[in-house]
Structures are given as structure tokens and as C-alpha cells.
Structure 1
Amino acid sequence: MWLSRRDLLRSVTLALGAVGAASVLGACGAATNGATPVADTTSRLPKSGGRLRAAFTGGGTAESLDPFTGQAPIDIVRNSAIFDPLFSLENGEAVGRLARLAEPAGDGRSFLLRLREGVTWHDGSPVTAQDAAYTLRYLGSPERIYPSELTGFIDFAGIEVRDVTTLHVPTVQPVGDPALILAAFMVKVIKDGTRSFTPESVNGTGPYRVTSYEAGRETRLTRFTGYWDTPGAADELVLLSLTDPQAKANAVLTGQADYTTDIPFTTAKTGAPGAGLEVRTAGERNRVGFGFVLNTTIPPFNDLRVRRAVRLALDRKALVDTVFLGFGTTGNDLFGHGAAYFSEREALRRDLEEARRLVRDAGAGGVPITIRSAEYEIGFNSSTQLAAEQLKEAGLDVRPDIVGVAEFYDPAAISAANAMTFSIGALPLPVLYARLASNPAFALTDPQLSAALAAGLGALDEPSRIKAWAQVQDVMADRGNTVVWGLADTLSLARKDVVGVESRGLAKYPYLGRAGLA
């Protein structure tokens, strides 16, 4: 299954990153001014009432109230307040929302999806299994420009409604933990028969409903008093759509907004000016892995020795200090930090002598190597340029191929490149590795890896899952094609009285359903 450009956009962290304008030509050490970020905690409870204003990276006229079309950060945040998912991803685990359970069959080739009772739509009608069935079929419809990646897991044509709260869902391969897959793909439920998503017609089950909406500018949401779970704290959410990371921070600094996330690291280093503001961190678990994926279908990265030389040649601390300005830590070459079953093994230490020997033995010295990059995450280009200089010290002729964001995910160009700059947060390992395997330029052809991946996806019990995902990461650490040099903090800027912001899935797209002012 070849990933579409939108699939790729979804698989990497979608928001513009948080590293500011630091250049590889600047100092390699971290900046020294500014206060240490405080933990972004949900321990304080908001007061009921008032208005919470938040700014997020927007997608201009491409924004949408369709929860499966709009992919800008503001789309994800907005639609998470309007629509409820079947399951949410919280601290790496699937938590039942509109669904109570997803019970796999003994062979993992199907599951029973059991819904929560007593939930109503914003129009007052009850949620039924027919709504969930319609949602899943809608996702897999070939008429959609971008059918869901769930087509690689679910047999949409075979879905059968059993009763008002139960449906039978067949799978195209063994899936031992279907709830985790549904949570990872943020499957929000839409009402049976939904054909449009205009401000007048959109109908969700979430804690907020649409009052007004203008793509690329502003959304106003009001609290839904009939919400089945903990009701929204604020009377109104105002979401501002901005295209520039610094503009988001400026919106808070100037009092136009109360909260924004994914701020530039340069802003964090400066610190929050004023007693009423603070820079927050989403914590270690919500750090985002930055690195490269090596294309093993063409030389020289089809040679294990050269892949290992890259890992040994990188000065990870210099990259963290320069690109993240110290807001993060070094990575261990495995994506998925913060997800369940992630292997917290020690990172390789820089060993230029051994890297040079491996390059010589492989005959890779002087072979032109291109690393494709774009400033899709702020810091992609500077990290690529600095890594290229470090790899040249090992005898590798690395040439950054810096392109525009619009052309970054061109399939032909990806296949022709030797490597690609990449980042991803705490995505569940089954989804993360399925996405890498689905793209020939990202995949690692290895029988042991393939067997372990299938075992991990289909495992029905915890010991089997632990064993399988350990095997997957053993292979990737030993001879894999992912090079994760750093883990970046996810930072936000907020008024001190903004509380109740939650991380459900990726921290760059927070859940505001319970947020408000203290």
C-alpha cells in the first residue's frame, strides 16, 4: 500500500515545529536566557463559564469541518471538540469514548465494536451502531480523494450491524488490539447519512457545537449542554487560525489569545514576558522524534555498514543544542518514543573512527548522497544541513536537497532520494511501522522484521505483544533504516489561568473539551 501525500502528511507531526530560526551557521551551544518551562498539567480545575481563546496553525481555505478531511492543526483541535472518537489515545493507551470495547475474535480476523449507550447528537437524536458503521464505510469509500489508511486493516465492505449498539467488523489481516488502531487513526463518529459539513449542517456528539466558522480565520464554538461526559468548562471556545509560528505566540503576547502550542524554541528561550504568562512543556512522554529515514532500495544505504556509519557519525548533542536550543534530548534511532512497548535503549555514542572505517569498507566514500528536506517542521532544514556537515567528517558526500513544503512529499522524488528528513511523536508502534513499511522508500526489507511486525499486530495477549515489539525494535536498532538523533519538547505559551488542556494523542493538537480559565 503506497501512502498518498495526505497519508504522509498525517503520519509526520502535522504542525509546524517549534525550533525557531536557529541556523547551523549560528552557535552550536544552547542559549542561556529564559526561564525553564513549567509542566502543562491538568491538575487544576477551570471555573465554569467564560471564553477561552486559543491560536493554532491553520490551513487557510483548505480547512474543513469534515473531521476526516481537514489536516491542519487547527482542524484537528477544532474537530476534536465537535466530534467524539470511538477511542482516544491517552498516555499511549486506547481509552473508550463513544465505543466501550473492541473485542477481537480468537483469530484476530474480526472484532465486535460495542458502543456506549445514552449518547445523543447535537440535534438530540441518539447515537447508534448504524452511525459507527456509516462512519467506517465513509472512511473507506473509494469515492473519497484520500481513503483512510484503515483500508490496510479493516474490511469495510464486510461491516455488519448486529444491534443498536453492536457491530461486527472484519479485518484484512490479524489485528489483536483493534481499539489501539482506531484510536491511532482518530476515528471520530459522524451521523448516518451525513453528506455535508457546513456550519449550519455539522452535527457532532462532542462537548462543543459550531456557532460560526470561517476557514483560515476564526471558529467560535459554544458548550453543548447535553454532552454525555464531563461538560465543557468554558461557555465559548474561540479558535484563531494563523499560518506563522511566531504569529501564534504574538497573539498570546498581545492579549489576542489565551493559549497557543508548538511555539518556536527561540520564544521559549526568551521566556514569557509578564507575570501573567508562562511557557509550558507537555513533558518527556510527548516529545517528538526528529531524524531521517534511509532509502534501502538504492545505494549506498542498501549496505548495512553505511547505515551504521551514519548513526555513529552524528553528533547528537550538537544537533539537540543547535536545532532545539537544548529543549529536548538525544534520540536512540527508534521512532515511537512515548508509545506503549517503546524500547528505551541507550543511544549510540559518536565514533568517527569506526564510522570512517565502515564507509571505507563499504566503498561509499565519494558516493553522492541526497537527503531530502523542507521546512515542514521548523528545524528540518537546519538539522539536515548540520547533519550533512557531520557526516562529511566520516567520508560521506552528503548533499541536502532543500525543497518547498508543497513538493516535499512527491512520491517520485522520495523514491529517488537517498534519505528523507522525518519526525513523529508517540504514534502507536503498530501504526508507525505499518506506515513505514507501506512506502517502498521508507521500508526495510527484512524477513525477521516482517514476521515480528505481523506477530505484534496480530497478538491477542500482552506477553506476546511485548515480545513481538521488542523483536521489531531489536531488528531496527541492529540493522534498521531510521536515524532518530533527537527528541524535541512540545512547548506552549499560555496565560497562567488557562487550565484543563489535555494531550490525547499528539500534544501539538491538544484536547480543549475540558479546558477553561481558573
Structure 2
Amino acid sequence: MNDISVNEVPVNDSRFPVLRRRGFLAVAGGAAGLGALALAGCAGSGPATDTAKGGGKPRRGGRLRAAFAGGGASETLDPHLANLFADVARAKALFDKLADYGPDLSAQPRLAAGWEPNAGLDRWKVTLREAAFHDGKPVTAKDVLYSYRRIADPVKAFRAKASLEPIDLKASRALDDRTVEFVLKRPTAEFPNVLAAFGAYIVPEGEQDFDNKPVGSGPFRFVSFAPGKSAVFKRSDDHWDGAPYLDELEFVVANEESARVNALLGGQIEYAHELNPTTARAHEGKGQIEIVRLLGSSMQGFVMKTDRPPFDDKRVREAFFLIADRKELVDGALSGAGEIGNDLFGKGYEYYAASLPQREQDLDRAKALLKQAGAENLAVTLDTSPVAAGFTEAATIFRDQAAKAGVTITVKTGSKDSYWKDILDSGTLASYRSGAMPIEAHISQRLLTDSTTNATKWQHKDFDALYQQAQSTKDKTARAAVYERMQRRLHAEGGFLIWGFADWILGTALGVKGVETKAPANSLDWARFDKVWLA
């Protein structure tokens, strides 16, 4: 394979076209929050499982070139500023967190060897495993506290700041080099997911300069970085979770999907991030490249604003639940690359209320509910935008489905640049999606009275009280019962019409092995290049 150094890949190189479209993470409100109560054990994972793409005996060697959409000259290797998929993939190669999200979005230990709460769930003792930074210095409790306090800096725009809010960082302390006592502002049963929060990477104490020669504790070491062009890393032979199989890992920028596909087909790269369903169908099974589908990576739906007409009437919301033909939406808007939803976030994730019956289209019942609510011949505007794949297609399909129930929907297409900001406060009905996060985080960030990204305007003090009850419940089975009770209410009268869950699609060269296939985007095993090898 070609050994292309970073200095040999200019921004306009035809082998690695630099695109204009930014590849933002599909996470409304950030992948943060709180997650799973447990005493954590070993986090080491094997090189190949039955969920990994490709088999055979892993072998060492070679450079893998991975193409992502990038952010141009403003790109940084500061892990606390990670915002794009490319940023996160680079960050997890160089750095590590105390915990990360498993396939079911429960917290799995990384730099933390274990965690244990007190009886009141407002103090947690976290024990660090024996791990070292790339300069040989051990990862200590002081590094952890420095990293979290840096993230929480009120004048900085670090994304994980809101996720760390439950921690009283002034009161938290290092008990010894490998033990941190976190003092919390309130009982938090799901505290391990704070440790796994999006962007909560551990860096050496005092570190501020990350773009010249960053020092982390991740599976790869820094070689070179040219913002908007390329980043080259090499294997860390003494990584605590085992040395990667690859000698080197190179990230190249290719913003347009067509550029990533052409580079993959032409042999200039071995891994192409973020392909669309049409591309996947065109190449799947043809013997040129491998198509990898990460199931359930992106929730797809509509938000109904529950604080304003007509959706302040729960009968109207239920009618809209019953108008949706979910299979038609998945087939049409996602080209079949996904599965139907049931108006609940997190299908397949920890605490998901899978026992609730699957909602089906029932136009007669929908019409009857609208009549009861005095909303016959209802007319509403559905805000959408090409900001996300499938948004405009889903809006058109749902408009036609609603017409069969006597509802007139006017589709209004807004700006990609301001869409997410606009829909949080304006309008009554809008297209929406979210990347993977724990169900508890979805609730805390979007469904409580004081949630900062409460797009449905769901504000109920008794619902808030149930959330606090769950957070104060140490027994996991009892806590799961509270979460199910909350989800039953959302399923009956909430403001999220969740019609599907989209696959995230990757492309790899035929010789790339060990790519995990049951890892939603944003989880630990997504972009897990330390467990990938070249056959």
C-alpha cells in the first residue's frame, strides 16, 4: 500500500478531493448524559467477534487510510472540541475516556477499571486502571480532574460541559494516584454515563497545545497533522488494551460522498465513512468493496410542539401517531436502510420499553380522534430542511399520508445553516433526528421541564419527578421499571413521532477486517481502528 505522508497530500489533490459539505455529527443536543449503574470490570475486547466484518487470523502491519468529511483549516486535535465525525474518530485514536458506550448504549469501562457509588448515589469512587500516556507518564487521578475542570471552564465552548454538570468539581478530589472521588450535586444512578460522555477525554495535567504534538493515552501516537487535509498516527505498542494491528492510521479529508466512494474504488483509501443507501445498493455484493451497516445509529421522526395548538391536545398527537405508515417512511425516506420505530427513542438500547405493542397506521381511529378534538379538516405546517438525509423525503411522504386522514400539511423547507436552532422554538411540527445516546440522556436533555433542547416542549412536573425517582433508585431492576413507566406515557401522549431508525453505512476495501457491525455511530466500537487489520 502507498506510503503517503501528510505533506504529500495537498488540499486540492485529485486523489483526496476536499469537499465543501461539513460532516456534522447526527446528534441533536450532544451525545452526553448519564447511563448505567454497575461495578465495571475489564474493558478489553477481542480482535474479532461474530459481529465484526470479516474473519480470519488478525495480522499486524500496513497503513489504513480512512476518508471522512472534514472541517477545513479550522480543524483541531483538541479532543474537547470534537464536533465532527472526523474529529471524534481522530480523538478516540489518540485519547481515551474513563468509559464509553457499548452497543446497547450502556457505559463500558475504559481508563476506569471500576466505579462504585455510596448509598445515597451522590458520591462515586472511580478506580483507574494502569495506563500510561504516550510520553510514558502514568494516567492519574490528577489528570482526570484537570481534564474535567478544563471541559467545565465557563469561558470555553467545550461540548461535554453540560454532560459534566452533575459533578461538583470543586468538592471532587484525588484520593490517591489511581482513585478519584466524584462528589455530585444530586443523586445520579446513571453516573457512569457521565464518564462516557461525548468529548469527555482524559488529557495530561496542564496540557493545552494539542495540534503540534498531542500526547494522549489512546491506541495510536501522533505523527503529523495538517488541518483540513490529513492526519497520520502510528501504533502505540504499549497501549493498555493491546497494541493495534495497524502500523499506521491516516485520516484524509473527502467531504463529498462521491469522492470517498471513488477513492475507495480506486484503491486510494481503505475506509470510507458515511455512504448513502443508494450508493450502498449499487455496490453491495458486487465484489469490489464491502458495505458495512451500523444498525440503529440514527433516530428519525417528527416533533410535535405540545405547548401550542393543535398539538397541545393529546388526542391530536395520538391521531398523528396513527397517521404514520412507518414502513412507507423507512422505505421511501431511507431507501429501506433502517427499521421502523414505535414513537420511542433508543430501540435496542438499555432500558428500551420493548414490551409496548408496535403502533400501526389506523386512519379511521385517527379521524375519530381529530373529530373528538374539534380538529377536523386540520391544516398544519411541517418544517423541514435538507440539513439531514431523508428529511425532505419523509416530510413529503407524511404529507401524503396525512391527506388520507383529512389533514392538510404544508411542507416548509428551511435553511440548512439555521434549521436546528430555529425548530427548537418556532413552529408546531418539524423533522427531527438524533444520533445514539443512552435513553436516560435523551430524557434528561430533551424531556424535562428545564431541558435545554426540549424541542417538543414536553414539560410535566410529575414526569420530572419520575426521572428524579429513577436517578435515586440504586436497584437496576427497580430503576428500569420507572423508565418503562415514563416511556409508556411518552408512547401514549408524547411529542416525538419516531417513525424509524436509520442505518449508518460505511464502505471498506475487501482486505479490511475486524470492522464492528453492531456498533451505532458514537459508540465505543464505531471507528475502532485499533481492532482493525489488513488481510
Q: TM-score, normalised on structure 2?
A: 0.85
Structure 1: how far apart are the matches of 2:454 and 2:66? 39
Structure 2 residue aligned with 1:483, among 485, 497, 522? 497
The corresponding residue for 1:515 is 532
> In the superposition, relative to structure 1, how do residues 7 and 274 fare at CA in structure 2: closer, same or farther (>3 Å)?
closer
Structure 2: how far apart are the matches of 1:223 and 1:125? 17
> In the superposition, relative to structure 1, how do residues 454 and 316 fare at CA in structure 2: closer, same or farther (>3 Å)?
same
Equivalent runs, 1:252-263 vs 2, <5 Å? 252-263=264-275
Structure 1 unpaired stretches of 5+: 1-5, 15-37
Structure 1: how far apart are the matches of 2:437 and 2:52? 20
The corresponding residue for 1:325 is 335
Q: Does 1:454 align with 2:468?
A: yes
Structure 2: how far apart are the matches of 1:512 and 1:111? 31
Deviation (angstroms), 1:152: 3.4
Structure 2: how far apart are the matches of 1:304 and 1:251? 50
Q: Deviations over 1:250-308 (max 9, x none)?
A: 2212222112233110011112475242222234xx44321112211211111101111
Structure 2: how far apart are the matches of 1:370 and 1:7? 27
Structure 2: how far apart are the matches of 1:241 and 1:459? 46
The secondary structure found in structure 1 opposite 2:417 is helix
Which deviates the most, 122-131 or 484-493? 484-493
Contact residue 148 and residue 164 of structure 2 kept, 8 A: no
The secondary structure found in structure 1 opposite 2:259 is helix
The secondary structure found in structure 1 opposite 2:170 is helix
Q: Does 1:105 align with 2:118?
A: yes
Q: Does 1:281 align with 2:293?
A: yes
The corresponding residue for 1:202 is 214
Contact residue 177 and residue 458 of structure 1 kept, 8 A: no
Q: Does 1:364 align with 2:375?
A: yes
Deviation (angstroms), 1:440: 4.0
> In the superposition, relative to structure 1, how do residues 39 and 110 fare at CA in structure 2: closer, same or farther (>3 Å)?
closer
The secondary structure found in structure 1 opposite 2:515 is coil
Deviation (angstroms), 1:9: 4.6
Q: Does 1:115 align with 2:128?
A: yes
Structure 1: how far apart are the matches of 2:319 and 2:157? 41
Deviation (angstroms), 1:68: 1.8
Q: Deviations over 1:137-175 (max 9, x none)?
A: 111110112461224322223221211111211222211
Structure 2: how far apart are the matches of 1:12 and 1:247? 28
The corresponding residue for 1:396 is 407
Structure 1: how far apart are the matches of 2:303 and 2:186? 26
The corresponding residue for 1:25 is none
The corresponding residue for 1:95 is 108
> In the superposition, relative to structure 1, how do residues 9 and 424 fare at CA in structure 2: closer, same or farther (>3 Å)?
closer
Deviation (angstroms), 1:402: 1.7
For 2:500, give the aligned amino acid: G
Equivalent runs, 1:383-462 vs 2, <5 Å? 383-410=394-421, 413-437=423-447, 438=451, 439-462=453-476
For 1:428, give the aligned amino acid: P
The corresponding residue for 1:60 is 72
Contact residue 89 and residue 504 of structure 1 kept, 8 A: no
The corresponding residue for 2:43 is none
For 2:194, give the aligned amino acid: I
The secondary structure found in structure 1 opposite 2:336 is coil
Equivalent runs, 1:158-197 vs 2, <5 Å? 158-197=171-210
The corresponding residue for 1:28 is none
The corresponding residue for 1:34 is none
Structure 2 unpaired stretches of 5+: 1-23, 33-49
Structure 1: how far apart are the matches of 2:30 and 2:430? 12
The corresponding residue for 2:8 is none
The corresponding residue for 1:133 is 145
Q: Does 1:293 align with 2:307?
A: no
For 1:511, give the aligned amino acid: R
Q: TM-score, normalised on structure 1?
A: 0.87
The secondary structure found in structure 1 opposite 2:425 is helix
Contact residue 336 and residue 426 of structure 1 kept, 8 A: yes
Deviation (angstroms), 1:425: 4.0
Structure 2: how far apart are the matches of 1:341 and 1:246? 38
Structure 1: how far apart are the matches of 2:199 and 2:176? 24
Contact residue 51 and residue 516 of structure 1 kept, 8 A: no
Q: Deviations over 1:369-420 (max 9, x none)?
A: 3333222321112112221222233233322232222101225x52112133
Deviation (angstroms), 1:463: 1.3
The secondary structure found in structure 2 opposite 1:262 is strand
Structure 2: how far apart are the matches of 1:74 and 1:7? 9
> In the superposition, relative to structure 1, how do residues 154 and 365 fare at CA in structure 2: closer, same or farther (>3 Å)?
farther
Structure 1 residue aligned with 2:485, among 471, 492, 499? 471
The corresponding residue for 2:96 is 84
Contact residue 259 and residue 493 of structure 1 kept, 8 A: yes
RMSD: 2.5
Q: Does 1:267 align with 2:282?
A: no
Structure 2: how far apart are the matches of 1:446 and 1:44? 54
Deviation (angstroms), 1:517: 0.6
State, as a whole percentage, how many aligned pairs show the same letter.
Answer: 28
Structure 1: how far apart are the matches of 2:171 and 2:378? 50
